[in-house]
Chain A
């Protein structure tokens, strides 16, 4: 009896002790920095100095500048386009790797092949698109050799298109992985049962396969969204500075020691990501599905 009552607080203590390292880590490196960013966004910025006097100047400046607000919309536009392209390219790939390939070994090998580009550094993967897409790049040379085009296609590089191509290639695998994982978990008997009940491939796909893989789509979409929304390197390297995302603005503001403005953009970016993730999580109850 006394043992039972004594063990309750002890259990409580163990739980707290186990939580402690994680809580300390998150406080130091997540919560505090975020609060700091929010705080700094209200500081007073002068050309060469920054002081903690509270002001809304930076916020006003952001929302009154067409450049800044424009970059917010550019970020959202590119994010939506890349989300769509990674899904369009990624889902059929995942369908093949996760469901149509019957051998587990082969499907693992295929997934590893998808990941191989990641063995090189991020910047090299981005910069490698330049000799591909450039005016005298691989694609233009090949198309000209075959006589398909007479003049090199110039919109391929240093445009929004090149940024989208680059991001789609880099982030596609984050869409493929979770979807392929969910698809591989579908019991093949379920699909055969649907076929036995007379459903054709289209019906089986829309009514069985897609709904069952939806948690994978949501996880993939969250991965892609978080990475694309925070992007600056791909847009910097492939757009010739013509495409300015919120990430690029933070980089330039920090570079010119404009901490308050960088913080404002940081807060806005964090809020946008929060809304996006919350929205995706509403679609599927991940705790139940995974």
Chain B
């Protein structure tokens, strides 16, 4: 408990009738990397803004280093915030941007000291030699690093990142991901990272917090969330599962794929059957199958480098995705507009239901 650097207690925030945050409670430990995952409008940015002090919660408390900071203005919180669009000062050079907080902040440092520290941080994010460039003369990825350096120069204990990788192309995103992790390990800073990308959330976070409609619906280690989503909504946001509606009754799940026995089910307010994309198997339409089977038409495939995504459409028009990892061998070639049978091992499915045992 004494390692909790940061704590939210029943934080609620409304905008008129819209409940942006609904009774959010969360503990964050020192030197932890927490990713918030949720669809847009789930309240994740509001949560970050409440933590940074740009918004005041309607009820609930925010604690930071054991102090109640609910009503402390943002500039006295010593919490760093990296904006989604970087929000660099457009009229200043790279080094002036990075040194801004040190020069004009709460505890102004002498110019020589500002210069020294700004240069150190700039070198740390790999921008040495760019100190005197204007921020409109550098690339998107470099601007992102300036934004990060500007925040890190203040040596905050907690850094908030608002979809900071969203504005970058995929290649840079991967590199920044690694660099962020390295920087955190070097400085021992706690990072809270908001993202709409499940890949980013799973890759970056020690812990993933899934938000939906202003509520935390699951908290856990990345692999726990991935392999055991707590609700159909979480499974949906992870974007890794085919979800089928149906009914769970007497230990059997009846869905579009027939009725299959269910070994274990999670409590939920609706009956949903989830199968991971890479657990799906494809068979010829004529094959005799045991267990769950779903007749579907092949639509298209998408090459992802290490795997291939195959898209099938069932009779009622829903798309079922099947991922084939190329490490498992060359992919089968499916013909467009041909019918196939989709199946899977029922033991690997995740079932949610009102009648959970």
Contacts and interface: CB of A to CB of B under 8 A. Distances in A.
A189 B101 contact: no
Interface in B86-116: 87-91, 100-101, 104-107
B217 to A, nearest CB: 28
B75 A199 contact: yes
A190 B79 CA distance: 16
A193 B147 CA distance: 9
Interface string B12-27: 0000000000000000
A190 B81 CA distance: 11
Question: For the complex, would chain B's binding face be called helix, strand, loop or mixed by DSSP majority?
Answer: loop
A189 B154 contact: no
A207 B87 contact: no
Nearest to B107: A198
Nearest to A202: B104
Contacts of A208: 89
B89 A190 contact: yes
B73 to A, nearest CB: 8
A189 B151 CA distance: 14
A195 interface: yes
Q: 4 tightest A-B contacts by CB?
A: A198-B105, A197-B101, A189-B87, A193-B87
A199 B101 contact: yes
A263 B303 CA distance: 78
B52 interface: yes
A196 B79 contact: yes
Nearest to B136: A288
7 contacts: A189-B85, A192-B81, A194-B100, A198-B106, A198-B154, A199-B104, A200-B75
Contacts of B73: 195
Interface residues of A, number: 17
Interface string B52-95: 11100000000000000000011110111101110111110000
A189 B83 CA distance: 7
Contact of B105 (A189, A197, A211): A197
A207 to B, nearest CB: 6
Given A189-B83, A197-B151, 14 more contacts: A189-B84, A190-B87, A192-B87, A193-B88, A193-B89, A194-B104, A196-B53, A196-B54, A196-B74, A198-B75, A198-B78, A199-B100, A199-B104, A212-B91
A193 B91 CA distance: 14
Among A189, A198, A211, chain B packs the most CB atoms within 10 A around the CB of: A198
Contact of B104 (A187, A197, A211): A197
A16 interface: no
B15 to A, nearest CB: 13
B215 interface: no
A92 B34 CA distance: 43
A22 B80 CA distance: 54
A203 interface: yes
B150 interface: yes
